[in-house]
Amino acid sequence: MKPSGLEPKEFVEAFENKTLPPEFFDHEGHMYAAWCLLLTCERELAVSRYCLALKNYAASIGMPEKYHATITIALLRIIEGRLNSNSDFRDWECFKQYNNDLFSSAKEVLLTFYSPELLYSTEARNAYVEPDLLSFSSFSFV
């Protein structure tokens, strides 16, 4: 089931317009919005739209401090890599089923690529930084 029951276009519009109820924007909602944008936009545009929408949405619900640039962009890169690895992942339920690690332990996935010191640094929160442990390009599925 899609978060909130909305189709991709409707979900992204509600997210970008800040009309999505907060209860639909839990971790799965974050992942769904990223998945939707990456399916419909080229990477740079998807990243730009997602980051702007997330900053604006977080501010609109009184939580601007929740935005973390590196976590956001790194997860978008991982989702994109996984989408590109299997055409079946264009189906949301299939994507969720076979990428459960992104839903149950996304931070552990990120810590494969980043040291905690770098990932949780002020620098990484404010601007995207490349991984210091493993490069994303080292993995065909990322």
- Give the pLDDT score at 89: 95
pTM for the whole structure:
0.91
- The pLDDT tens digits for 59-71 are 999 989 989 999 9
CB 75 within 8 A of CB 106: yes
8-state DSSP, 117: H
Q: pLDDT value at position 6? A: 84
Alpha-carbon span 106 to 125, nearest angstrom: 16
Which pLDDT score, from 0 to 100, does residue 142 have? Answer: 45
Q: What is the pLDDT of residue 55?
A: 96
Residue among 4, 5, 39, 40 at smallest CA distance from 25: 4
Please state the rounded mean pLDDT for residues 125-132.
Answer: 98
What's the helix, strand, coil split of the chain in %, to 5? 75, 0, 25
With cut-offs at 50, 70 and 90, classify the pLDDT of residue 24.
confident
pLDDT over 60 (residue 86):
yes
Query: CA-to-CA distance for 112 and 3, rounded, in angstroms?
Result: 27
CA distances from residue 9 to 38, 76, 126 in whole angstroms, order as listed: 12, 18, 29
